[in-house]
Amino acid sequence: MGSDMDLPVALLQSLEGVPGYHREAFEAVHRSGEQVTSVRVNPAKASLLAGGLETYRISLPVSGKIPWTDNGYYLQERPFFTFDPLLHAGAYYVQEASSMFVEQAMRQTLDLNQSLRVLDGCAAPGGKSTHLQSLISADSLLVSNEVIKSRASILEENLVKWGGANVMVTNNDPADFSSLENFFDVLVIDAPCSGSGLFRREPEAIAEWSPHAVQLCSQRQQRILADYYPSLAEDGTLIYSTCSYSQEEDEQIIDWLLNNFELESLPLQLQADWNIVEVQSPERKGSGYRFFPDQVKGEGFFLAAFRKKDGGQFHYRAPKKPKVQKASKGEVAAVMPWLNQDAGIQLWKQQEQLLAFPALLEQELLVVADNLYVRHAGITVGKLAGQQLVPDHSLAMSTLLHPSTVAVSLKKEDALQYLRKEQVILSDAPTGWALVKYENLPLGWVKVLPNRVNNYYPSNWRILKSGSN
């Protein structure tokens, strides 16, 4: 190999004959060094922002819309995202454009107005999960599972910032889901893969690639799919994706799925100007969709969708010893003034923590909590000290918060100071708990005391870098 962007010869050879692959253009786009930056806006927070969508345009150098998704935008250049308080407020997520195509698979194979139980089985750091949460209805459930503990904590952070109440973050092995047979209506597997689709953005990954690694990934993808499969209900949708170009991880997985399970391949409609390549698996002619960076404005990506034709439906049985209990009348009375009254939520208690969860998803909460290791469920409201709520950061990030909660607005420099968990000086703030806001979006809590202000931003999420742009 010569320069960093010399792609593995074995990869290039393996792609000969693949529909849509043009070696010269493919190599040229990797050599070009062009970087595509994109974000997906949080529709639940966009409406709260001081200037609505226009605020994003001021904060971010938006250059255009990503055509296969409602809330995705390309940027002219990559800003220093860490120094944008709106990122920390969960106003948007920085995400690769091609992977937002999962929205088409969801929209074209499901009625998103229905109440759905959705499992994101390979969820960290949360790109697909935050997207799925924005797509599903308020009385649908998203379970975001990540097997690696350290990655599950990043997933939790991103989902807490996103602010949806209908989400549970779990940290389980895929095999643990065997106890939830036929529970989910949608299973999204954005599988760990050999990563060739990201070589333009991460050239250092090229050195790790080998045909052997592709084989290992393919076997692991089969294990993950086989472990999760029983948890999908009959007529449920399976969405499988990778950021690999290798057929062993893409078309051959489609054939493996169609050969080993009662699945039907679901073709998706494409617009010609998206330049996404439709492929068929060699044996069973299942449909797949491949993104080449020389043809789309985005990185390499592959997606296929299926309908499950066997299984059955889930039958609810109340757990004998529920892991969460309904909050008492007194606890509800102490907490309700903090919450938006129309939110349709039920308050629960787990040890000392109070949490808010959509009232219509009571059975779902109980079943998932009974069978899995739940890191986070709904909105953590906080703990009661006597009759007083000590509010949790999750509540500040949530749209459940009562709109007239005491708040102070900060300019960018002060907001960054707050996000570094440093001292903030607030003149005129009344004593007690207050939200800190930037452009009308909450960043977190402070407690105003007569002689100082205590900063309650979560220590492990604080900005560590100095500077402001």
Tokens standing for residue 378: 């709904």
Nearer Cβ to ligand SAM (101/348): 101
Pairing mode, if any, of strands 62-65 and 72-75? Answer: antiparallel
**Cβ closest to ligand SAM, residue 110 vs residue 243:** 243
Residue 86, classed as helix, strand or coil, is helix
User: Least Å distance between CB 216 and ligand SAM?
Assistant: 11
Peptide bond preceding 430 in cis form (omega within 30 of 0): no
**16 appears as a binding residue in the annotation:** no
Minimal distance, residue 349 CB to ligand SAM, in Å: 31
Does 190 count as an annotated binding residue? yes
Asked if residue 128 belongs to a known ligand binding site, the reply is yes
In a 3-state reduction of DSSP, which class is residue 248? Answer: coil
CB 213, min distance to ligand SAM, A: 13
Residue 4 annotated as part of some ligand binding site: no
92/418 with CB nearer ligand SAM: 92
Which residue, 125 or 391, has its beta carbon nearer to ligand SAM?
125
- In sequence order, what are the residues at sequence separation of 6 or more whose Cβ sits closer than 8 angstroms to the Cβ of residue 307? 109, 235, 236, 237, 238, 263, 264, 266
Question: Cα 249 vs. chain centroid, distance in angstroms?
Answer: 22
Give the number of residues written for the chain.
469
Residue 434 known to bind ligand: no
- 3 state DSSP class of 358: strand
Enumerate binding residues for ligand SAM (CB under 6 A).
122-128, 146-148, 151, 174, 190, 192, 220, 224
Integer Cα distance of 59 and 81 in angstroms: 10
- Please state the closest distance from residue 80 (CB atom) to ligand SAM, in A: 21
Ramachandran sector of residue 235 (left: φ over 0; alpha: ψ -120 to 50; beta: rest): left
- 421 in a labelled binding site: no
Is 124 annotated to bind ligand? yes
Task: Write down the least CB distance from residue 98 to ligand SAM, Å.
Answer: 11
Write down the catalytic residue from 217, 232, 243, 424. 243
Q: Can 243 be counted among the known catalytic residues?
A: yes
Least distance from C-beta 308 to ligand SAM, angstroms? Answer: 19
Closer CB to ligand SAM, residue 88 or residue 131? 131
CA 84 to chain centroid, in Å, comes to 20
Contact present, 239 and 188 (Cβ < 8 Å)? yes
Would you say 48 or 122 has its CB closer to ligand SAM?
122
DSSP string, 10-65: HHHHHHTT-TT--HHHHHHHHHH----EEEEE-HHHHTTSTTTHHHHHHHS-EEEE
Question: Which residues are the active-site residues?
Answer: 243
Q: Which residue ranges make up the annotated binding site?
A: 122-128, 146, 173, 190
Binding residues for S-adenosyl-L-methionine: 122-128, 146, 173, 190
